[in-house]
C-alpha cells in the first residue's frame, strides 16, 4: 500500500505547476482526477516530440484519470460539485478569480465541504497590484530577479527548465501533504495558496541576502559560482572540460597539494581565503588550467576522486538519458500512454519494500464515462 492510497484529488489544472504537484501525489498512491476542458489541457499541444505527444504533458500526467467537463454549464458545475463532495483535495491553477466565478472558490467550497482541502496556485497571488497579471515561467523568473543573475558575463539567461513552475508545484505538493496531516488531527479541511513568485522568491534567498547586505548583486558567472571559488568548469588537456567544486579551505589545500601538485598556492595571498579566491577568480582559473593542460580529462577526474574533491563531467541530455548511475540503480520504468509504452524515470522518493506507481498517461476524457458512472451509482 502506498502512503496516499485512498486519498482522492480533484485537479482543475493546466500547463506545468499544478500538474507537477498532483503527479507527485499520484506517484504516492493518491487517485488524481484531472478535470479538463473539451480540448484538453493546452500543455497537450506544446509539441509532438514524444511519438506524437507533448513532452511536458508526458512528464507531468502519468497516474491520472482524465475527465472532460464543461464548467460553464449548470450540468458541468453540478457534476464537479459531486466530485468534490467525494474528494479529499481540490487543487486548481486557473487564472486568478476564475475558479471562484465558477462557484469553486476556497471559501465557498469549504462551507459546502468542511473536510475538503482547497489549494489555489497562481502566478502572483490572490491580491496585490500583480494579481491579474499573466504569469508564465520566464516572466516570473524575470520578476524574481533570477534572470538578472543567470547567464554569462555579457548576457542574462533564463533557467533551462521551468524553475518557477516547478517551485510553485513543489510548494503546492507540500501544502497538500501538510493540510492532510493537519486534518488527521483536527478532522477539518483547510485552504492554502501558493504563488509562483512567492515560491521562486524563497529560492532566491542567497542572492537576496548577498545583495541587500553585501551592497551588490551576485555576478553572472555562467557555470561558475558568484560566491565560491574554485567552483565550475576548467579546461584540461585537449580542451575537454572538467567541473569541480571546492567548499572549504581543507578541500582547497587538498586540491593544491594532491591534484594540482602546486602546494605553494596554499600560501599564495591571492587565494588564502574563499573571498580572496573569488576576488582573484581569473588568476585562479589560469593557475588551475595551466596545471591541467598536460592532463587528459580522465586523469584530472581520477586525481580529483582520489583527493575526494567533488567533480563532474558535463553531460548532454542524450548522455543523461543513458547515465550509468540511473541505469545501475534501475531508475527507469515503462509507462503506458495513448501512443504506446514510454520510458520514464521512477519517482525520486524510494519507499522501502514498495514498488512505485507508474500507471498510464491518459488521453483527453479517457475516464469521463467511468467516473460519471461512479457518481450515478452513489446513493448520496
**Residues tagged active-site:** 225
Joined together, the cell numbers standing for residue 114 give 468542511
Map 211-262 to HEC letters.
HHHHCCCCCCCCCCCCCCCCEEEEECHHHCEEEEECCCHHHHHHHHHHHCCC
Which residues pair with residue 343 across a beta bridge? 334
Is residue 116 within 8 A of residue 183, CB to CB? The reply is: no
* Nearest C-alpha neighbor of 95 from the set 212, 161, 153, 17: 17
Number of Cβ atoms within 10 Å of the Cβ of 123: 25
Strand order in the sheet with 231-235: 231-235, 241-245, 310-312
Through-space distance between the first and last CA atoms of the chain, rounded to whole angstroms: 28
The count of C-alpha atoms lying within 13 angstroms of the C-alpha of 303, restricted to the half-sphere facing its C-beta, is 20
Amino acid at each position: 500500500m502506498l502512503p496516499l492510497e485512498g486519498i482522492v484529488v480533484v485537479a482543475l489544472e493546466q500547463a506545468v505547476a499544478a500538474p507537477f504537484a498532483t503527479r507527485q501525489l499520484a506517484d504516492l498512491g493518491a487517485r488524481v482526477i484531472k478535470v479538463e476542458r473539451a480540448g484538453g489541457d493546452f500543455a497537450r499541444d506544446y509539441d509532438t516530440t514524444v511519438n506524437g505527444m507533448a513532452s511536458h504533458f508526458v512528464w507531468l500526467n502519468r497516474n491520472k484519470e482524465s475527465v472532460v467537463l464543461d464548467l460553464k454549464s449548470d450540468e458541468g458545475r453540478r457534476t464537479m460539485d459531486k466530485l468534490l463532495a467525494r474528494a479529499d483535495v481540490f487543487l486548481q491553477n486557473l487564472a486568478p478569480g476564475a475558479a471562484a466565478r465558477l462557484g469553486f472558490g476556497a471559501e465557498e467550497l469549504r462551507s459546502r465541504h468542511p473536510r475538503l482541502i482547497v489549494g489555489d496556485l497562481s502566478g502572483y497571488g490572490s491580491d496585490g497590484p500583480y494579481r491579474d497579471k499573466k504569469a508564465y515561467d520566464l516572466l516570473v523568473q524575470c520578476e524574481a530577479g533570477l534572470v538578472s543573475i543567470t547567464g554569462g558575463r555579457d548576457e542574462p539567461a533564463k533557467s533551462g527548465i521551468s524553475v518557477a513552475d516547478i517551485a510553485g508545484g513543489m510548494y503546492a505538493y507540500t501544502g497538500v501533504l501538510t493540510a492532510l496531516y493537519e486534518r488527521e488531527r483536527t478532522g477539518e479541511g483547510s485552504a492554502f495558496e501558493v504563488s509562483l513568485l512567492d515560491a521562486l522568491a524563497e529560492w532566491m534567498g542567497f542572492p537576496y541576502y548577498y545583495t541587500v547586505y553585501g551592497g551588490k548583486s551576485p555576478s553572472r558567472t555562467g557555470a561558475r559560482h558568484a560566491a565560491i571559488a574554485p567552483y565550475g568548469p576548467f579546461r584540461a588537456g585537449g580542451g575537454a572540460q572538467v567541473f569541480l567544486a571546492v567548499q572549504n579551505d581543507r578541500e582547497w589545500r587538498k586540491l593544491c597539494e594532491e591534484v594540482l601538485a602546486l602546494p605553494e598556492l596554499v600560501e599564495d595571498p591571492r587565494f588564502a581565503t574563499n573571498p580572496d579566491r573569488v576576488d582573484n577568480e581569473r588568476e585562479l582559473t589560469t593557475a588551475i588550467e595551466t596545471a591541467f593542460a598536460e592532463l587528459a580529462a580522465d586523469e584530472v577526474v581520477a586525481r580529483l576522486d582520489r583527493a575526494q574533491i567533488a567533480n563532474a563531467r558535463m553531460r548532454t541530455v542524450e548522455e543523461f538519458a543513458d547515465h550509468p548511475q540511473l541505469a545501475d540503480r534501475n531508475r527507469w520504468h515503462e509507462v503506458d500512454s495513448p501512443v504506446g509504452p514510454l520510458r520514464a524515470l521512477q519517482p525520486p522518493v524510494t519507499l522501502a519494500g514498495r514498488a512505485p506507481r507508474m500507471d498510464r498517461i491518459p488521453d483527453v476524457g479517457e475516464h469521463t464515462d467511468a467516473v460519471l458512472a461512479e457518481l450515478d451509482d452513489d446513493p448520496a
